[in-house]
Amino acid sequence: MPYRVRNSPRRRTSVLARSKLAAVSVALGLVAAGGAAATADQQGRGLSATVRYTEFGVPHIVANSYRDLGFGQGYAAATDNMCSLAQTMLTTSATRSKYLGGDAPLQGILAAGQKNLVSDVYFQGINDSGIVERLVAHRGKLGPAQEVRDAVSGYAAGVNQFLRENRNTDPGCKGAAWLRPMTEIDIYRHMYASGMAFGQGSAAGGIVSAAAPGSTVDNDGDLGSNAISLGSQATANGKGISLANPHLPWNAPDIRLWQSHLTIPGRLNASGAGVVGLPLLWLGHTETMAWAGTAADTTRTFTLFELKLVPGSPTKYLVDGRPEPMTRRDVTVAVAKPGGGTENVTRTQWSTRYGPIVQQLGEQKLPWTAETAFAMADANAQNMRMGNSTLKLMQARSTDEAMQGLKETQGLPWMNIFVTDSRGKASYHQLHVVPNVTDARAAECNTELGKRTYPERGIAVLDGSRSNCGWGQDRDAVQPGTFGPGSLPSLSRADYLENSNDSYWLTNARQPITGFSRILGTAETSRSHRTRMGLTAIEEQLAKGKFSKESLQELMFSNRNQLAELAVDDLVRLCRTMSADLKDACDTLSTWDRKHDVESRGALLFDRFWTKLRTSLSGPAQWKVPFDLAKPITTPNTLNTDHPDVAKALAHAVAELRAANIPVNAPWGDNHYVVRNGERIPIGGGQNRWGVFNSISGTWDPAKGYTEMVHGATYLHALSFNNSSCPDSATLMAYSQSSNPASPHYSDQTKLYSRKQWVTERFCEKDIMASPNLRVVEVRQR
């Protein structure tokens, strides 16, 4: 049989003994097989892996090769998230319109904010170009490592084995016409698109709609995270402590995180979380090293090139005075017709030596006129090394090994990495793919538009008519045209390193980092309220004593509102001078604990107040004391109650809640929740922009409150090293392991998240064997 359950927690009388015996025999057999060059598949026995499930459905996957390991991971991922996998394959294969209709909104972030037809045309253009296949074909540093290729091959086989066994119970795709087997190219396309999600993917609509003057066209990501690495001088036991807290969309199948523990005895032992549909892990730890990451939100992984067009020929552009033709590609996708069947829809895309023509990027219009057009150059358009970098992290046993592996591979697309180890060495590196545009190059080559967008947002708009305005070259860069490790921010400390999606500048408040190009982010400017909250909480803890894992967990779930700590006292004083009708609001704010715990009363009123204030009053105008470079954590401060918009915002917030019949002192969790299988689960934490470290946000409905979380905490770990190879680690998957409503692991950890509870991680063999919920499953390829 391809699938066999070794034991079940329902039979409690001799389960543990039999589980131990089974696992010991498995481990011994795998250790013996681990050194064999050929996989079981190559020997004609088919792929196989052992999956041991512990509490809350966390799989511990053991195999004798990377291909077998990928097989087990793919099988287990499909068990929990088959519909997420299938949705992502629909997206990257450009077939959403065929099955779900062209006007339906895209589910996911790979072509953010678009309808299915736009997404399909964008991805079909990529697929027609053959770029993914060409990058995969590279056998040197620019292509996937052999271990990654093996893991990809096995992962697809594992998903397909699950489908062959017909075990899918998710009503979201069970029996759907679009549910199909996975191929290796599906995985590589997903990997490639993930890298460009915040470059070309964010501009998919502007790429698809690009049309030359005189022609017509029918047209119809937000990431965040917290990461803390603590070194020997900041921890009670002198060893490293790590916090991982990535913030991602809760309902995006193409970037859904999922936890697993991956082991090849004697060769690999890493636990953490990765994206469903991609093998290996994005965040996690080994026996002696842990890493966390944040999205480098202030860094630009792309530039624009402004093209001078040949007079009378809007599809030709000049480079050093010589005309070059744009490349035309007619892209055809199938679209479902309302009455049944499909029809083909064709759109034309144009590209240049720099990248595709784009007519809009966010709110920025980029018109294609008779004289000018704009091309978008994404550094990740040549990056198929993400798996290489994550593999190096999973193999590393120290901070130095982890950083060396990242320098060798340079495949992370947009992540800052924070590493610590059992020796207490903490390091940070913004070692990901970034266009090599120095401030000097930008000053020399930015067009008039670039002279505005570069200092404001870090977006270079370079003169495409001059070949000497292309990206620069670093000797230590693996990929031509990108910055090498020596040109990117890094810092090692014995106390702490922290990031909440601001730039590199205040990774440690005691040692600001400066001297880097604007494309990498800003320095010596005001920080976000969440960054200030994180640094404040760390410094406050160190003033009291050194960190333990438990004190870091408390910091994570403190749910303090940094804006409130700065503003509420002044707001209450203002409130007392306003209408007597606001007395209940004034009393609520004065007694509020300034937190976003589910029972906090006043959090909702303040949330609605600041939502209204920020729409009418700009950030600097909200404060009496402006940003002070000498006091970057504590400034700006002191609410500007002299401005009439402050009183108006408070009055409007109270009126809004009363109109919705919501008491102004309603507990936060009464109006900040999710519903899972009919059960309401209150959710603590709050919006990033309010300075709540435990960032989580939903969509406001005046009749119901915040009824579904759309973005925020996903996988969390708090880990402390000790004197053994078994780290003291707690984890949590805020939206739970499975997207399948029929799964017992659809909302179990969401309830833990609601209660600020963690899962004690079982990493070492003895702890896995001691799990009262241990269930051992052997999976084999037919």
- Among candidate residues 84, 225, 242, 548, the one labeled active-site is 225
CB atoms within 10 A of CB 562: 22
Name residue, tokens 């969509």.
699
One DSSP character per residue, 696-742 reads EEEEEETTTEEEEEEEEE-EEEEEE--SSSS-EEEEEETT-S---TT
Write out 409-464 in H/E/C secondary structure: HCCCCCEEEEEEECCCCEEEECCCCCECCCHHHHHHHECHHHHHHHHHHCCCEEEC
> Is 225 assigned a catalytic role?
yes
DSSP 3-state assignment of 22?
Answer: helix
778, β-bridge pairs: 4, 50
Q: Are 78 and 279 in contact (CB under 8 A)?
A: no
Residue 408: phi, psi to the nearest 5?
A: -70, -35
Q: Which residue from 361, 274, 243, 335 is spatially nearest to 731, judged by alpha carbons?
A: 243
- Please enumerate in sequence order all residues whose Cβ is within 8 A of that of 235, keeping only pairs 6 or more positions apart, or say none: 241, 424, 546, 547, 548, 720
Distance, in Å, from the CA atom of 388 to the CA atom of 435, rounded to the nearest integer, reads: 20
User: Kind of pairing, strands 313-319 and 58-62?
Assistant: unpaired
The two beta strands, 490-493 and 673-676, are unpaired
Longest alpha-carbon distance in the chain: 84
Cα 679-685-686 angle, rounded to 5 deg: 110
**Who contacts 192 (Cβ-Cβ below 8 Å, separation ≥6)?**
126, 131, 132, 135, 380, 383, 384
The CA-based dihedral angle spanning residues 593, 599, 603, 605, taken in that order and rounded to the nearest 10 degrees: -120
Task: State residue 336 phi and psi, 5-degree precision.
Answer: -65, 135
DSSP class of residue 526 equals P
Distance separating alpha carbons of residues 404 and 398, to the nearest angstrom: 10
Question: Contact at 8 Å (CB) between 545 and 236?
Answer: yes
Question: Which residues lie closer than 8 Å to 554 by C-beta, 6 or more apart?
Answer: none
CB count in 10 Å sphere of residue 773: 14
Rg over alpha carbons for the chain, rounded to the nearest Å, is: 26
Which residues are designated catalytic? 225
